[in-house]
Chains A and B, each alone.
Chain A
Amino acid sequence: MLSDFGTIFLFILAAVALVSMMLGMARLLRPNNPNEEKLSTYESGEEPLGNANVQFNVRFYVVALIFVLFDVELIFLFPWAVVFGNEDLIQQTNGQWGWFALAEMTVFVGILVLGLAYAWAKGYLDWVRPEPKTPHVDSPVPTSLYQQVNEKYKKS
């Protein structure tokens, strides 16, 4: 008789066998005549440029960090959810329990929201942080002179 772990082992064996069988069959059946277009990476019809191992822009990293933080804090919702709807507790306290648990969680989520609001107000959530750089030229020629030239050629 197999133990339960033996069953899991059989599952793993079956999965490996099935996948290799299907891939192997496909390899035998399909026609194989590659060309350069076919071998290139599919990027929604765009020409692939450069290596995939490029460094990402730092702003992805800030967004990722904020995501990780808020994502992980949510694990506290799970134990809370278990006791929040506990009927025994609600009956023992005449329904007070539900309100108490809800208030506690509101405080917790409220603090998280404040954190998010802070990050938002600081501009860390803006996808493209606008930093307009106006090209600055140190030129002895006054701007009005350029404008005159522009005006002149516009007329002609």
Chain B
Amino acid sequence: MEPSMLQMPAIPEIIQLIPLKNYLILSTALFVIGIIGVLTRRNAIVIFMSIELMLNAANLLLIAFSSYKSDPAGQVFVFFIMAVAAAEVAVGLAIIVMIYRNTRTTDVGFLNKLKW
């Protein structure tokens, strides 16, 4: 495909009122909150939500970069991330429901059958 056809219209100035750095800080903060959530929470569903937060931090960053570069590739990547994340959600929730049916809990501390 010719790049000319993929040209995005120049971004409105209003968006550039917020410096790119702020987006970088915001999405890094979201990402770190997600990581802390994964490491400290015990409930599988909450861990899962934290992971989604990490993915969305990446999405936000991609979109911010994409707008500032006037390059649609970043936004296309976000579409793919969203679609793949939905598939992951479906599989992950199915696994959690399967475990819930067998153990009646979603607490990961209960899962200790396998240890070195």
Contact = CB atoms under 8 A, between A and B. Distances in A.
Complex contact flag A–B (Cβ < 8 Å): yes
- Which secondary structure dominates where chain B touches chain A? helix
Interface in A63-83: 65, 68-69, 71-73, 75-76, 79, 83
Interface string B88-112: 0110011001000100000000000
B86 A73 contact: yes
Contacts, number: 35
Interface residues of B, number: 16
A18 interface: no
B114 interface: no
A153 interface: no
A117 interface: no
A88 B90 CA distance: 40
Contact of B93 (A65, A75, A76): A65
B26 to A, nearest CB: 15
A40 interface: no
B11 interface: no
B5 interface: yes
A69 B87 contact: yes
Q: Which 10 A-B pairs have the closest CB atoms?
A: A72-B86, A65-B90, A69-B90, A75-B79, A4-B14, A72-B83, A68-B86, A73-B83, A69-B86, A75-B82
Interface of A: 3-5, 58, 61, 65, 68-69, 71-73, 75-76, 79, 83, 86, 88-89
7 contacts: A3-B17, A65-B90, A65-B94, A68-B89, A69-B87, A71-B86, A79-B76
